[in-house]
Amino acid sequence: MPLTAGRTTPSYGALLLRGLLAGLIAGLLAGVFAYSTGESRIDAAIAIEEAAAPAAEPAGDGHHDEELVSRDGQRAGLFLATALYGVAMGGLLATAYTLLRRRLRTDSDTRAALGLAGAALLGIVLVPFVKYPANPPAVGNPATINQRTIGYLSIVVIGLVAVWAGVLAARSPREGSPEWLRAVAAVAAFVIVVAIGYVLLPSIDEVPDTFPASLLWDFRIASLGTQATLWTALGLAFAALLGRIGTRDRAARERSDIVAA
């Protein structure tokens, strides 16, 4: 009895839907992590800002003075932010999966999904974080927001290019080259691109001398953990949902085999 469908072929829509759902799950989990590790640090930073406020510029200059949303509202808004961000990243991951799946050179869908999520974690979180680490409220200078945003987006692009360069380099040695040589080539290409980015982009350090170093450190770890939670959960959830397509289709095929037999 020949099997008609050798492989299951989900549509882009089916993959996208799973990416968006995985992103929602990952975003909410990242929100839980951010809430439990980051909120107390944000409160502490705001307290420092407010203690310094009367001496500094008059109200109306910084938008934090406007009180559009209460602190409780912002605590709830944290989950909205991470959920929507997760949905956006999940959809992008599913799109990348659709476009790149055939080039990933693995039979394992789980490895393909986790590999893409890992590449994103490296390229759009870790590389940018080392150059422009996260800052709590009360640290940034509003006058440089445009410059900081352009720098940040540039390093995100450079991080993705660096990962891509690493993959290309790993594949460039001749057929049959030892694995260590591929690994060395990949790391070298990645490091070179990242180093060029770090040197060319301006350094920005706006942390006031008086800001407590331990609070800054704790906030940055909370921020990094939030992104790490998001991408880890996104990769795992997307892989799990992909696995379910395969299982369901396989079950359907087995049923049709039984009917045919």
Which residue, 152 or 173, has its beta carbon nearer to other proteins? 152
Q: Are 19 and 90 in contact (CB under 8 A)?
A: yes
3 state DSSP class of 8: coil
φ/ψ (deg, to 5) at 174: -60, 155
Nearest to 31 by CA among 99, 90, 80: 80
The identity of residue 18, as a single letter, is R
Q: How far is the CB of 223 from other proteins (least distance, A)?
A: 5
- Give the DSSP per-residue string, 81-109: HHHHHHHHHHHHHHHHHHHHGGGS--S-H
Q: How far is the CB of 174 from other proteins (least distance, A)?
A: 27
Which residue, 123 or 151, has its beta carbon nearer to other proteins? 151
Which residue, 37 or 173, has its beta carbon nearer to other proteins? 37
Q: Are 165 and 190 in contact (CB under 8 A)?
A: yes
Q: How far is the CB of 120 from other proteins (least distance, A)?
A: 12
